[in-house]
Amino acid sequence: MHRSLIASFALYSAALLLTLFTLAPLVWLVLMSISSPNDLTSVPLNWWPTEVDLSRYGHLVDLNNGAGHRFLAALRNSLLTAGGATLIALIVAVPAAYAFSRRGASLALLFVFLATIMMPPITYVLPLYEIFGGLGALNKTTTLIIVYSAMLLPFATWLMKSNIDVLPVEIEQAAFMEGASTAFTLRRVVLPLALPAIAATCMLSFLVAWDEFFYALIFTSDLSAKTLPVAIADFSAGRVTDYGVIASVGVLATLPPAILAICFQRFIVSGLAAGSVKG
């Protein structure tokens, strides 16, 4: 079918508009992070930096700088928390997913699992706060890891289940026939076959944990456990006069998920679609 000139014009205009809408806030965030404070406080704004100023990034990766110290501590905490929670969630989710997929565990139970993450966290955060407070476990990375793994677990189970569902069941049957136990079959046969699914699940879980703010806000109070989202909220709420610093922290916190999202787009989109739509 050939498009008329008007239709083409409308199409490309819409595409351009969408590109601007999508990219403008991000481009502006990056520009802010490399503009001089003067450019950022002129009225109206100096859109293009008079000179590129990378000093903020330098400060942020410098342990001896105040902001850098806070940023790097938060980065470490975020990596540990998101990484640890992803690991635990996967270790717990894979056997559960296998039970749902191959051992006839009731799907109603899986829906209960999923309902726990759909409930607003505000509905159960206070008892958790009091329990962890009583155990002296507040403001600890380990505590966040445990809470996050519960948060990641239902989705990870769900994703792994739909991926195990499509593995050929005869291969597992062959393993049982050869005398293998379920644990042996899981480790030696199912896991290697499900490796791409595990990678996708890990990535999505990591991104969710990386993004989490609410629990981190309530359960952490200083640099020993605060994660990046909380640190960024602090930065922006504090008396920082240079907005470029806030922007550069934002850029750094966005880089890992943005790179993952671009590189593994197919994985992520299909994972999201499976997680949100398929029943």
Partner 1 sequence: MSAISRSREKWVLLFPAILVLSLITVLPFLQTVWTSFTDAEITAREQQVNWIGLENYIWALTDPDFLEALGRTMYFTAVSVGLEGVLGIAVALLLNQKFRGRWFLRVIIILPWAVPTIVNAVAWRLIYHPDYGALNSLLLQLGFIDSYTSWLGDPDRALNMVILADVWKNFPLVAYIALAAMQTIPGDLLKAAAIEGAGAWKRFRSITLPWIIGPMLVVLILRTIEAFRVFDIIYVMTRGGPSDGTKTASFYVYQEYFSYLRSGSGASYAVVVAGISAVLILAYYAGIRRDQRGA
Partner 2 sequence: MTNNLQKKERTAVSSNPILAVENLSKSYGDLRILKDVSVAIEAGDFLVLVGPSGCGKSTLLGCIGGLTEITSGNIQIDGQDVTHTDPAKRDIAMVFQSYALFPNMSVGDNIGFGLEVRKVPKTERDEKVNQVAELLKIEPLLDRAPAQLSGGQRQRVAMGRALVRDPKLFLFDEPLSNLDAKLRVTMRTEIKRLHQRLNASIIYVTHDQIEAMTLATKIVVMKDGVIQQVGSPREIYDTPANIFVADFMGSPAMNILDADVTMDGLMARVEIAREDGQEPLILYDTNPGEGITSRPAGPLKVGLRPEALTDLGSRSVNADQQFDCLLDVVEPAGSDTFAVIRLGGTEVTARMHGDVDVNSGDTVPICFDLTKISYFDPKSGERL
Nearer to partner 1, 64 or 178 (CB): 178
Cα 69 from Cα 74, distance rounded (Å): 9
Nearer to partner 1, 64 or 168 (CB): 168
* Contact positions with partner 1 (CB under 8 A) in 65-84: none
- Tell whether residue 51 is a contact of partner 2 (CB under 8 A): no
* Contact positions with partner 1 (CB under 8 A) in 2-41: 8, 11-12, 14-15, 18-19, 21-23, 25-26, 28-29, 32, 40-41
Cα 166 from Cα 194, distance rounded (Å): 10
List C-alpha distances in Å: 197 to 73, 164, 166, 226. 31, 9, 11, 30
Cα 200 from Cα 18, distance rounded (Å): 28
Nearer to partner 2, 35 or 163 (CB): 163
Cα 154 from Cα 197, distance rounded (Å): 15
- Tell whether residue 175 is a contact of partner 2 (CB under 8 A): yes
Cα 150 from Cα 68, distance rounded (Å): 31
The correct pick among 77, 82, 90, 98 for binding partner 1 (CB under 8 A) is 98
Nearer to partner 1, 68 or 121 (CB): 121
The correct pick among 174, 199, 259, 263 for binding partner 2 (CB under 8 A) is 174
Q: Minimal CA–CA distance to 185: which of 167, 173, 168?
A: 173
The correct pick among 70, 74, 250, 267 for binding partner 1 (CB under 8 A) is 250
Residue 243's binding partner out of partner 2, partner 1, none, with CB under 5 to 8 Å set by partner kind: partner 1
Nearer to partner 1, 26 or 171 (CB): 26
CB of 180 to partner 2, least distance (A): 5
Q: How far is CA 236 from the centre of its chain?
A: 21
Residue 75 in contact with residue 223, Cβ under 8 Å?
Answer: no
Residue 114 in contact with residue 156, Cβ under 8 Å?
Answer: no
First to last CA, the chain: 37
The correct pick among 50, 52, 58, 124 for binding partner 1 (CB under 8 A) is 124
Provide the binding-site residues for partner 2, judged by CB under 8 A: 168, 170-171, 173-181, 184, 188-189, 192-193
